[in-house]
Amino acid sequence: MIKNLILNIRACLGRAQVRFIGLKRDLYWIPFDVLLPLLGVSTFIFIYKSLKMPPITYTFVILGGSMISYWLNILWSMASQLYWERMTGNLPLFFIAPCSINSILIGMAVGGIYATSVRALSIILLGIIFFKIPIYWQGLPQAILAFLLTLISLYGLGMMLSSIFLLSGREAWHLSNLLQEPIYLFSGFFFPIKTLGFWVASLASLIPASLGLDSLRQSLIPESKPFAFLSFEIEITILCILSIIYIYMSFILVKKIEKIARREGRLITRWQ
């Protein structure tokens, strides 16, 4: 039992180390990874400025722009990863390894969080410097709690989607594209999801980024509370529930694909 636990921890750290090292090898890409997304975020800020919107809307945009980095990482470096590994011929190595695939997925998530946080935090810092966005620093402890729960539930969703994308075969590419732009709208990356209406916002809450952003805004921008979808406490509770559900479902789906791989000797592209 202890040996198995140590093995899976080492596998998790080993898979995360790849992304740690990869970020250090590509340091010259960091300015482009930060400045180019900031240009897109700046577009919305200048639109709000031209409409003479209050400065808190700038903070809405900056926080949403930083969260987009995590969502893209989940789509292209988590959900699609097992599919890409299959296409490159590395996936059989994952199944014959003595460790659990879950430990590999967790390592991918840890490494992805580290690499993406550099980009996300840089966007926030540059937003504070260039646009002088108002931040309520006394709410930072609440914001950290909301941020951590959002990441846990988001990457739990990414682990679950990795199995779904793998089983979908070539449709994985289309699923990644399908879940990109529409999520920008339904997660309220640039505006409060409350404006979508109660029922649409409730469905959008299945995506952890929606409630995570809403709770972050409530913590760091007290003036945004009238625009909040739900109270901070309720949103934190829902994020905890989503984290448990998505991580549990990811373990169930991993067992499913392991059974398929062992029974068929290959991974099929549909359920049987």
For residues 173 and 93, the answer to whether their CB atoms sit within 8 Å is: no
The pLDDT value given to residue 98: 83
Is 203 among the domain residues? yes
Q: Is 35 left (phi over 0), alpha (psi -120 to 50) or beta?
A: alpha
Owner of token pair 């793998």? 166
Is 186 among the domain residues? yes
Q: Mind giving me the DSSP string for 161-178?
A: HHHHHHHHTTHHHHHHHH
Confidence of residue 266 (pLDDT cuts 50, 70, 90): low
Give the total number of structural domains in the chain.
1
The pLDDT value given to residue 265: 62
Is 134 among the domain residues? yes
To the nearest 10 degrees (0 to 180), the angle between helices 56-74 and 208-220 is: 150
Cα dihedral sign for 47, 52, 58, 59? negative
Is 271 among the domain residues? no
Higher-confidence position of 83 and 23? 83
Q: What is the rounded distance in angstroms from the CA atom of residue 26 to the CA atom of residue 22?
A: 6
For residues 196 and 204, the answer to whether their CB atoms sit within 8 Å is: yes
Q: What is the rounded distance in angstroms from the CA atom of residue 219 to the CA atom of residue 234?
A: 13
Percent of the chain with pLDDT over 90: 12
Rounded mean pLDDT of the chain?
83
Burial 95-131 (b: 16+ CB within 10 A, else e): eeeebbbbbbbbbbbbbbbebbbebbebbbebbeeeb
Is 272 among the domain residues? no
| Tokens representing residue 30 in the block | 């960091």
Mean pLDDT, residues 166-177: 74
Burial 175-189 (b: 16+ CB within 10 A, else e): bbeebeeebeebbbb
For residues 50 and 142, the answer to whether their CB atoms sit within 8 Å is: no
Encode pLDDT of 200-248 as tens digits: 888 988 999 899 999 988 888 888 888 888 889 999 999 999 999 999 9
Burial 24-42 (b: 16+ CB within 10 A, else e): eeeeeeeeebbeebbeebb
Higher-confidence position of 264 and 156? 156
Per-residue H/E/C for 97-142:
CCCCHHHHHHHHHHHHHHHHHHHHHHHHHHHHHHHCCCCCHHHHHH
pLDDT at residue 165 tops 80: yes
Encode pLDDT of 81-109 as tens digits: 888 888 777 787 887 878 888 888 888 88
Q: Tally Cβ neighbours within 10 Å of residue 170.
A: 9
Q: Which domain holds residue 86?
A: 2-264
Is 270 among the domain residues? no
